[in-house]
Chain A
Amino acid sequence: MNPALQGLLTIIVGVGGCVGYFYFSNQLLDRVIFPARGPNAGVNINRANQVRPWLFLFPAIFALGLYLAYPVVETLRLSLTDRVAGGGYDWVGLANYTQMFNEPKFWEAMRNNMLWLIVVPAAATAFGLLAAQLTDRIAWGNVAKSLIFMPMAISFVGASVIWKLVYDSRPAGQDQIGVLNAVWMAFEPGLWSTIVLRILPALLIVGFAAAVAYGAWLLAKPIIERDDRGPGMLAAGLRGAVALLFVWLIWESVSTLPGLLTSELPYGEPQNWLTISFWNNFFLMVVLIWIQTGFAMVILSAALRGIPEETVEAAIIDGAGPFDLFFRIKVPQIMGTILVVWTTITILVLKIFDIVFAMTNGQWETQVLANYMYDKLFRANDWGVGSAGAMVIMLLVTPILVWNVYNARKEMR
């Protein structure tokens, strides 16, 4: 049979099966098991209505249980066992975990995951918010939005292929087909490249550090000033912790400045961007940011439109400029939505696999947890360590997931 026909048939059977299940099971419940007739009609109707939700929920619960809950339990079991040559398995306790924790590759993956965790949700949300705000009131805003949203329709692997071409390099004499190298080859030592490659990035870093410092100051202010309307102990502790994290970020970013300003740049040599360790992580992150910005933009754009126009007008009368309007009136009002977007992307990032798999496969220090797990499970055939890696990912995702659901439900109220 033609595969297209086969697909169509599958769809028809699948959808028909679902509709059939709901229709016939409902009929069975109402006509045969608890018929709304006879002396017990009233009682039967009540009973049928009590059973109905479970009847309709059953397929979803069953499928989720079979494909989600059971695998979690099974993975936990596998992570505590080892394969025995010739079949069967042994309980080994936490041996797989200790083995994993002793591997530098695992810690590399952990570090990279943390990097992804900081950069991608922040960048995607920030760009999404920026795009949402900038496209809000202009005539061609919707066209711009569609273009920005388009990468969402591309699979991660497809996006990876596109960006692999962007990062592609050819030997020095040939035409560069990768955009990044084509641009890079245009640079020569001189004033302009100093401005573009040293001073501009340095200014960006300083700006970033300043923004983070301002954020840290805002966080720390209530603790330092101790005014009577200040936060409680827990909130103060949280604020302090995040402020310290910010200080660390400032240090990290500022400490790159000397290197940036003094390093020798290999002008005229095509670069293999994906092999430049540490920085190649960021080249991979760009792909996900490129995809997720559209998602963040769509959600935040809807949230921005939901802000009551009067509050904005009241702020204008109060004397708020565009920046005050955006940061002090609009952003606080959609903070809930921003958090939901942020955490949603965070969860996605923790599970990131396809982009790394397709572009570097974890080489050149770009390993991430999900690819590490895949590596152990399917290449090294070590189900124990592979499952242990999966458990670590789940442990990291769960608290964020819970928080995400909590925030999302709060938003809906």
Chain B
Amino acid sequence: MADLKLTKIVKAYGDVEVLHGIDLDIKRGEFIVFVGPSGCGKSTLLRTIAGLERITGGTMEIDGRVVNDIPPSERGIAMVFQTYALYPHMTVYDNMAFGMRLAKKSKQEIDERVKSAASILQLEPYLNRLPKALSGGQRQRVAIGRAICRDPKVFLFDEPLSNLDAALRVATRIEIAKLNESMPDTTMIYVTHDQIEAMTLADRIVVLRDGYVEQVGPPMELYHRPANLFVAQFIGSPAMNIMESVVTAASSSEVAVDVEGGGKAVVPIAGAPSLKGHPVKLGVRPEDLRIAGEGEQTIVSGKLDIAEALGEVTLLYVNVEGHEEPILAKLSGYVDIERGSEIHLTADAGDLHLFDGDGQSMLVEAERKQAA
């Protein structure tokens, strides 16, 4: 049963459309992360789910009930804001109790719920403090506690970690992951622009760009089988290398391409359309590249521009003829290569990605066709 169902959600401010018909099925208890560059509409989408923004078109269902016209407080959601949004004039206790008091819950029930939320988040010593007397991490915990007290069906996080410093961010991220485990029936939707948060927390990631969904899937699927160039370059750091190529031969099980700069590659794709002679793009992640051994087919070769040794890895920036940006290779351990020397790089055929003229992944397209 789909707990949260978005159908053709459109949001427009006047003439400017910012969400162009978003479809999403989110199951009960899933942890969904919205990622995308600034201005992609991920926060707007979250706010439409919260009910803080009215949708212009489409339908939104929570637990099978259409909530298009239902006020935020009755949707069964709770939201944690980037700036915490604690009520500055109320103590931690009152902050968490406010919603329940408005709902005219009994004093005893309020007290129980606040105390239990406080114990989950280790906030008991601070219940009588005002938010201004708390640290950033504590404030964020209070905001989460306030959301827990609402006992929501859907938990919404709007970049909850971006106001915290790096160390606290990691700690709070882990706390959120634990919280998610302890509430298996609660759906969580989390907006971030930080890939690491997305990869580590999500059951499924929704990649958004300019108000369109680019791909939805578990983190590893997005990493290993990006549906298009945008997702390929957005997920993973450093970003995937993209090289112009031309298809030289295509069989029922693989596609051979000539890579600019003189390399060759064979990509195993079953049932790909024959695009012989067509320009395509070959993508290889920096961490999949390695130095070609004797007699191995080189995919790309060029002169080493800079080598950055980081200890556990060495980043090689390789200048390839006809390619503006240097190709990046991430080799494990310390690799000692002189600047300016000629380097030949290769990768396992299974780690190669091929994108057609529209930037769609040929592998994913072919699989989709076969499934259909």
- Give chain A's interface residues, CB within 8 Å of chain B: 229, 308, 310-311, 313-320, 324, 328-329, 332-333, 335
Cβ contact of B89, chosen from A317, A319, A335, cutoff 8 A: A335
A319 and B87 form a contact (CB under 8 A): no
B128 and A311 form a contact (CB under 8 A): no
Cβ contact of A310, chosen from B71, B85, B99, B150, cutoff 8 A: B85
State the majority secondary structure of interface residues on B.
loop
B81 contacts partner chain A, Cβ-Cβ < 8 Å? yes
B223 contacts partner chain A, Cβ-Cβ < 8 Å? no
Give the shortest distance, in Å, between A336 (CB) and chain B (any CB): 10
B73 and A316 form a contact (CB under 8 A): yes
B79 and A317 form a contact (CB under 8 A): yes
Cβ contact of B72, chosen from A316, A324, A329, A332, cutoff 8 A: A316
Indicate whether A318 sits within 8 Å of B89 (C-beta atoms), given known contacts A308-B83, A313-B81, A324-B102: no
B88 contacts partner chain A, Cβ-Cβ < 8 Å? yes
5 cross-chain CB contacts under 8 A: A229-B128, A315-B98, A316-B72, A318-B150, A320-B98
B87 and A314 form a contact (CB under 8 A): yes
Q: How many A-B residue pairs have CB under 8 A?
A: 63
Give the shortest distance, in Å, between A231 (CB) and chain B (any CB): 13
CB-CB contacts below 8 Å: B49-81 with A: 50-52, 71-74, 77-79, 81
Complex Cα gap A317–B85 (Å): 12
Cβ contact of B87, chosen from A229, A315, A317, A335, cutoff 8 A: A315
Complex Cα gap A310–B77 (Å): 16
A333 and B73 form a contact (CB under 8 A): no
B102 and A319 form a contact (CB under 8 A): yes
The digit string for B92-135, where 1 denotes a CB below 8 A from any CB of A, is 00000011001100000000000000000000000010000000
Residues of A within 8 A of B78 (CB): 317
Residues of A within 8 A of B150 (CB): 317-318
Complex Cα gap A235–B128 (Å): 17
Given contacts A308-B85, A313-B52, 18 further A-B contacts (CB under 8 A): A308-B83, A310-B81, A313-B81, A313-B85, A314-B81, A314-B85, A314-B87, A316-B72, A316-B73, A317-B50, A317-B78, A319-B73, A319-B103, A320-B102, A328-B98, A332-B87, A332-B89, A333-B87
Give the shortest distance, in Å, between A113 (CB) and chain B (any CB): 33
Complex Cα gap A256–B88 (Å): 41
Residues of B within 8 A of A316 (CB): 52, 71-73
Residues of B within 8 A of A320 (CB): 73, 98, 102
Chain B, interface size category, equals 20 to 34
Residues of B within 8 A of A319 (CB): 73-74, 99, 102-103
Complex Cα gap A34–B81 (Å): 57
State the majority secondary structure of interface residues on A.
helix
Give the shortest distance, in Å, between A352 (CB) and chain B (any CB): 33
B86 contacts partner chain A, Cβ-Cβ < 8 Å? yes
Residues of A within 8 A of B73 (CB): 316-320
- Give chain B's interface residues, CB within 8 Å of chain A: 50-52, 71-74, 77-79, 81-91, 98-99, 102-103, 128, 146, 150
Residues of B within 8 A of A310 (CB): 81-85
A317 and B72 form a contact (CB under 8 A): yes
A318 and B85 form a contact (CB under 8 A): no
A333 and B85 form a contact (CB under 8 A): no
Complex Cα gap A270–B196 (Å): 80
Residues of A within 8 A of B99 (CB): 317-319
Closest to B90 in A: A332
Complex Cα gap A363–B98 (Å): 53
Closest to B78 in A: A317
Give the shortest distance, in Å, between B129 (CB) and chain A (any CB): 12
Residues of A within 8 A of B77 (CB): 317
Complex Cα gap A229–B111 (Å): 14
A329 and B87 form a contact (CB under 8 A): yes
Residues of B within 8 A of A335 (CB): 89
Residues of B within 8 A of A332 (CB): 87, 89-90
Residues of B within 8 A of A229 (CB): 91, 128
Complex Cα gap A333–B71 (Å): 24
A311 and B79 form a contact (CB under 8 A): no
Residues of A within 8 A of B81 (CB): 310, 313-314
Residues of A within 8 A of B71 (CB): 316
Closest to B143 in A: A314
Complex Cα gap A229–B52 (Å): 34
Residues of A within 8 A of B72 (CB): 316-317
Residues of A within 8 A of B102 (CB): 318-320, 324
B98 and A318 form a contact (CB under 8 A): yes
State the 8 A-B residue pairs at the shortest beta-carbon distance, nearest first.
Answer: A319-B73, A310-B85, A318-B99, A332-B89, A314-B85, A319-B102, A310-B81, A317-B72
A311 and B86 form a contact (CB under 8 A): yes
Residues of A within 8 A of B51 (CB): 317
Closest to A316 in B: B72
Closest to B85 in A: A310
Give the shortest distance, in Å, between B234 (CB) and chain A (any CB): 27
Complex Cα gap A314–B81 (Å): 8
Complex Cα gap A308–B150 (Å): 22
Complex Cα gap A328–B78 (Å): 19
